[in-house]
């Protein structure tokens, strides 16, 4: 059976029960598994769970709600891609999954440690550190699979890097322009304007992290108001005009000045800023960015286009938290776009990135009533 990565075949129930009995008969091995306070799964050569310890269910009571026996890890943790193709390990997305790669290594006889990002069918984001180790019992191949939830660790690491890198850069820019102000008498007005622009961006970066933090903890409140989208976009363009000018980007805006919508303006502003920032960062000098918007009945569709094409590995991980095209531990851009749009604005996010066209992100946002519905 053809798949995009690992084999799709599975053992039938009677074979799985025989494999489980091999684990149970090895009393010393089984006792060690049960005493270890971390989730441990024993997988067979077709990546199915034949044994697991109590710590697995104790560590993930709200996530694992069905019997793990016979299933594969991604199916147990409700990875949204485990419901595609022939299940966990068989999709094109599994090629970039740390858990799938670690399992593949141990099936070839090697111990491995990887980091794994999972987006569940409920759009919850998890980061795991996965360890796999091959083991043979009575001539049959198994592997030990254990994982630690490092979601909070990755979140803290990312926020620290964002503040140390991005915000420090903005603060340094402000300092530099203020220093020039006192040495260049002829250009003082322009220097002060640029320094103020950096200050606005710095404040915006801080507000961005606050909004994302509140969103992830479920404490972000919705305030619905009516406003014209064109004015919001113009405000954002003015905020990042120096970045557009620095790259000599040709900016095209096709948004009806009378396009009026009802939603949370602050959250939508954050989403649009991330879309535009991502487009700027992806674009080469002298290229084009296009922002378009239209409305059908009560649905506003906003598109942000740039001429670059994303590599396949980037496309496969684009909405995962902790993944960034800007380097390890950088950025929450596309993850926050999806989180804020779909969880708080009741909208949808999609993208297309193909040779001969470029990359375009599309968000659809419905008008909300005062209760946020």
Residues 92, 228, single domain; the answer is no
- At 94, is the pLDDT very low, low, confident or very high (cuts 50, 70, 90)? very high
Residues 56-64: what's their mean pLDDT?
86
Check residue 187 and give its pLDDT.
62
Instruction: List pLDDT tens digits, range 16-44.
Output: 999 999 999 988 888 899 889 899 999 99
Helices (H), 262-352: 265-282, 312-317, 333-344
**CB neighbours of residue 189 within 10 Å:** 9
Please check the confidence at residue 2 and state whether its pLDDT lies above 70.
yes
Residues 234, 115, single domain; the answer is no
Mean pLDDT over the full length of the chain:
85
Check residue 161 and give its pLDDT.
61
Please check the confidence at residue 173 and state whether its pLDDT lies above 90.
no
Q: Which residue has the higher pLDDT, 292 or 200?
A: 292
Check residue 321 and give its pLDDT.
59
Please check the confidence at residue 345 and state whether its pLDDT lies above 80.
yes
Check residue 112 and give its pLDDT.
95
N-term to C-term CA, the chain: 44
Q: Which domain holds residue 29?
A: 13-149
Residues 213, 231, single domain; the answer is yes
Residues 121, 187, single domain; the answer is no
Helices (H), the chain: 13-25, 27-35, 54-59, 73-76, 98-107, 151-162, 168-181, 188-217, 229-239, 241-246, 265-282, 312-317, 333-344
- CA atoms within 13 A of residue 129's CA, in its CB half-sphere: 8
Residues 222, 312, single domain; the answer is yes
Residues 172, 160, single domain; the answer is yes
Residues 272, 130, single domain; the answer is no
Q: For 65-69, 163-167, 279-283, which range has the lowest pLDDT when averaged over its residues?
A: 163-167
Please name every residue paired with 225 in a beta bridge, in sequence order, or none if there are none: 263
Residues 169, 123, single domain; the answer is no
Residues 28, 162, single domain; the answer is no
Residues 128, 186, single domain; the answer is no
Residues 216, 248, single domain; the answer is yes
Residue where one domain finishes, among candidates 93, 119, 149: 149
**Residue 8 placed within a domain:** no
Count of structural domains, the chain? 2
What is d(CA 107, CA 100) in angstroms, rounded to the nearest whole number?
11
CATH number where 183 lies: 3.30.565.10
Check residue 186 and give its pLDDT.
61
**Residue 373 placed within a domain:** no
Residues 354-366: what's their mean pLDDT?
95
**Residue 6 placed within a domain:** no
Please check the confidence at residue 89 and state whether its pLDDT lies above 80.
yes
Please check the confidence at residue 327 and state whether its pLDDT lies above 50.
no
Residues 144, 198, single domain; the answer is no
CA-based nearest residue to 121, from 83, 164, 68:
83
Residues 138-158: what's their mean pLDDT?
84
**Residue 347 placed within a domain:** yes
**Residue 55 placed within a domain:** yes
């Amino acid at each position: 059976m053809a798949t995009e990565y690992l084999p799709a075949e599975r053992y039938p129930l009677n074979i799985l029960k025989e494999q489980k009995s091999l684990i149970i008969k090895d009393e010393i091995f089984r006792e060690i598994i049960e005493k270890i306070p971390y989730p441990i799964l024993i997988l067979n050569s077709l990546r199915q769970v034949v044994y697991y310890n109590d710590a697995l269910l104790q560590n993930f009571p709200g996530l694992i709600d069905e019997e793990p026996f016979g299933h594969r890890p991604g199916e147990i943790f409700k990875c949204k891609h485990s419901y595609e193709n022939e299940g966990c390990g068989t999709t094109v997305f599994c090629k970039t999954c740390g858990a799938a790669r670690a399992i593949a290594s141990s099936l070839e006889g090697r111990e491995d440690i990887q980091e794994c990002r999972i987006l569940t069918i409920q759009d919850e984001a998890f980061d795991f550190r996965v360890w796999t180790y091959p083991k043979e019992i009575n001539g049959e191949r198994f592997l030990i699979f254990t994982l630690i939830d490092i979601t909070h660790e990755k979140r803290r690491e990312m926020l620290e890097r964002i503040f140390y890198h991005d915000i420090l850069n903005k603060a340094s820019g402000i300092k530099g322009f203020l220093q020039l102000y006192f040495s260049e008498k002829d250009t003082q007005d322009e220097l002060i304007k640029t320094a103020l622009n950096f200050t606005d961006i710095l404040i915006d970066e801080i507000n961005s992290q606050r909004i994302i933090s509140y969103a992830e903890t479920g404490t972000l409140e919705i305030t619905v108001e009516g406003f014209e989208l064109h004015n919001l976009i113009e405000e954002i363009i003015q905020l990042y005009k120096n970045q557009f000018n620095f790259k000599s980007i040709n900016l095209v805006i096709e948004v009806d000045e009378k396009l009026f919508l009802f939603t949370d303006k602050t959250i939508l502003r954050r989403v649009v800023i991330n879309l535009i920032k991502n487009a700027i960062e992806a674009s080469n000098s002298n290229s084009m960015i296009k922002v378009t918007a239209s409305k059908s009945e009560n649905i506003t569709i906003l598109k942000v286009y740039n001429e670059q094409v994303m590599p396949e590995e980037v496309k496969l991980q684009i909405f995962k938290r902790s993944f960034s095209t800007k380097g390890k531990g950088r950025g929450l851009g596309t993850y926050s776009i999806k989180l804020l749009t779909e969880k708080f604005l009741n909208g949808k996010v999609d993208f297309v990135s193909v040779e001969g066209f470029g990359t375009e992100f599309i968000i659809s946002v419905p008008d909300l009533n005062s209760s946020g519905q």
